[in-house]
């Protein structure tokens, strides 16, 4: 057990690189504490997209520190991701001008499609930089960039894996872990949900309910951003030394590329 500068007793939470803790106040009240949390989290909490923020400050040598309510509940599982509540939260986040303006004021910049690919190439683990198949996909993405319109870009999460969603015992669903957030085309989030959780035969219904048309232009964007979503997930698994999960994701990416236009 350790203590932070505010006197909280801290217990490290596994799997968060030493940045996340369960804190206990002097009266025994549990709280969630995370260091190096993006400042945008406070705005997200006000929009009821992420758990309520109790306090936020900057500590010397530790970065931005956020204290949130400790939630009793569970992490979502794969089968939960077809819920309408997931789509509704994404719509609320993606269409929020308040969040977009807050992000831009906090020095988030517009990321065009090529910027997303360059970021992956720059940040991905070294072994992925040496993977000829994945690098060929990056080149293919750069050669076939989708249209990007800054005026309709929005604030997106960037990693909607089911482990980043929590449901409280009262049924509230929240999105967590905002380190990958950026300002770009909302299709980065939408394509990830479609390709990883929604059956292909349900794509049209899901897209229309979200607010998209269902046509070749939209599907071409799903194809482009869907591949990027696989690349991001592969890098995440490799970074956490989960080789089995990374290989499964690479296989799924191959299948996605081979079958996508056959099923349109």
- Write out the catalytic residue numbers: 159
Asked if residues 190 and 222 have their Cβ atoms less than 8 Å apart, the reply is yes
Nearest to 145 by CA among 87, 93, 220, 214: 220
What backbone phi and psi angles, to 5 degrees, belong to 199?
A: -55, 145
110-114: long-range contacts at Cβ-Cβ below 8 A with a sequence spacing of 24 or more?
110/150, 110/153, 110/183, 110/184, 111/182, 111/183, 111/184, 112/145, 112/148, 112/184, 113/141, 113/145, 113/146, 113/148, 113/184, 113/185, 113/224, 114/142, 114/145
DSSP letter at 72 equals: P
Count CB neighbours of 200 within 10 A.
Answer: 12
* Neighbour tally for 2: CB within 10 Å: 9
DSSP 4: -
């Amino acid at each position: 057990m350790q203590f932070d500068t505010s006197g909280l007793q801290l217990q490290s939470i596994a799997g968060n690189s030493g940045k996340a803790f369960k804190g206990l106040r002097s009266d025994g009240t549990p709280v969630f504490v995370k260091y190096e949390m993006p400042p945008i989290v406070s705005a997200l909490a006000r929009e009821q997209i992420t758990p309520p923020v109790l306090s936020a400050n900057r500590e010397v040598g530790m970065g931005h520190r956020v204290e949130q309510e400790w939630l009793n509940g569970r992490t979502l599982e794969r089968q939960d991701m077809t819920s309408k509540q997931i789509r509704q939260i994404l719509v609320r986040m993606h269409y929020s001008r308040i969040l977009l303006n807050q992000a831009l004021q906090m020095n988030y910049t517009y990321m065009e499609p090529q910027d997303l690919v360059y970021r992956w190439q720059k940040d991905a683990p070294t072994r992925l930089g040496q993977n000829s198949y994945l690098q060929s996909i990056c080149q293919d993405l750069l050669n076939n960039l989708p249209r990007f319109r800054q005026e309709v870009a929005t604030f997106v999460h960037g990693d909607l894996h089911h482990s980043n969603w929590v449901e409280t015992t009262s049924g509230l669903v929240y999105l967590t872990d905002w380190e990958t957030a950026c300002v770009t085309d909302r299709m980065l989030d939408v394509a990830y949900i479609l390709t990883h959780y929604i059956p292909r035969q349900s794509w049209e219904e899901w897209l229309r309910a979200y607010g998209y048309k269902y046509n070749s232009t939209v599907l071409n964007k799903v194809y482009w951003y869907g591949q990027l979503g696989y690349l991001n997930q592969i890098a995440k698994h490799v970074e956490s030394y989960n080789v089995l999960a990374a290989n499964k994701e690479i296989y799924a990416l191959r299948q996605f590329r081979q079958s996508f236009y056959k099923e349109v």
